[in-house]
Amino acid sequence: MRDLGTGFGYLAKGQRWVASHGRWLGIGLIPGLITLVLYAAALTGLALGADDLIAWATPFADDWSSPWIDLFRGFLTVLLFALGLFLAVITFTAVTLLIGQPFYESLSEQVDKSESPDGTAPESGLPLLRELWISARDSLRILVRALLWAVLLFALGFIPVLGQTVVPVIGFGVTGFFLAQELTSVALQRRRVEVREQLAMLRANRMMTWGFGVPLALSFLIPFVAVFLMPGAVAGATLMVRDLRGENQLPPQQPQSGDPSLYAAGGQPAAPYGQQAPGAYGQPQAPAPHGQPMQPAPQAPEAYGQPRQPMQGNPYAK
């Protein structure tokens, strides 16, 4: 059963995988560090200029008396920064994956090889520039969807009580879903799975998707944690993709030649299903013509290879 625990289990397995492959952990940290510096600068600028931006956007409140104007604009400032943080969490993965596409592609491929029985990994067969274009295009589509959700949740945040209790929970659920989509897209793009199919696959397994993405979204609120979790998140997402596509299931076992079940009584090979078993001593039993009785199997030979003579008369007659 694919539930929340299953999704979280794949997140933990991914972290363990990169921990046991230190080289890939170091490679996976590079794109996250670059993105972290960019986002830290953007959020710092938003925090410093949020008051002026809210004052410019609400000129109708200039004549309000204190403390109402301060409470109103302070509330909007908090919501604006929360919206910026929400978008940063959602888009952090997309931007990091875009910057680190070659790094995470190699990481995901290595995870596939380590889990595959034959040591191979699916390949898209596309040039690198084509893969980067597809990744950027799909990330933009997901970003548009995330922005629509962000605007809706921002508007719902004005509802008393509901906006401070239910809306944040929904927000983390949405964030976790889109995080899982972005991370699984690394492995799914190599399998030529389009965005619509990706979303349909994740919606069909919402509980597992939330179990994977929501804890990751919560951890991203802690500074620097996202950078260190990204390589393991990519590895865990690859493992989850293998489960969703049934690639972790072992092929059916083929019977061995020495399997006793392959032989019928007397040491003769058993006939395949739907075919007639061979006759005595390995001779095929010919089908009888229509309307004629079936011919009996040949008689067993007597000792020393002599044929058995037919019995004459009634041996019990006096």
The model's pTM is 0.64
Q: Is residue 129 part of a domain?
A: yes
pLDDT tens digits for 37-73? 898 898 888 888 888 888 888 888 778 877 888 888 8
What is the enclosing helix (H) or strand (E) of 290? none
Q: Is residue 288 part of a domain?
A: no
Q: Both tokens of residue 218?
A: 């919560």
Q: Is residue 256 part of a domain?
A: no
Reference 11, options 254, 180, 194, 187; nearest CA is 180
DSSP 267: G
Residues in the chain: 318
What percentage of the chain carries pLDDT values higher than 70? 77
Q: Which regions of the chain does DSSP assign to beta strands (E)?
A: none
Average pLDDT, the chain: 78
Q: Is residue 65 part of a domain?
A: no
CB within 8 Å of 221: residues ≥ 6 apart: 85, 89
pLDDT tens digits for 78-112? 888 888 887 787 778 778 877 887 888 889 999 99
pLDDT tens digits for 194-236? 888 999 999 999 999 999 999 998 887 776 787 888 899 999 9
pLDDT tens digits for 268-307? 544 544 455 455 444 555 555 555 555 555 555 544 445 5
Residue-level pLDDT at 210? 93
d(CA 165, CA 126) in angstroms, rounded, equals 46
Q: Both tokens of residue 268?
A: 């003769």
d(CA 285, CA 297) in angstroms, rounded, equals 7
Number of domains in the chain: 1
Q: Which domain holds residue 222?
A: 4-39+78-244
Reference 177, options 151, 152, 198, 156; nearest CA is 198
- Site of tokens 């964030």: 175
Q: Is residue 92 part of a domain?
A: yes
What percentage of the chain carries pLDDT values higher than 90? 16
DSSP 269: B
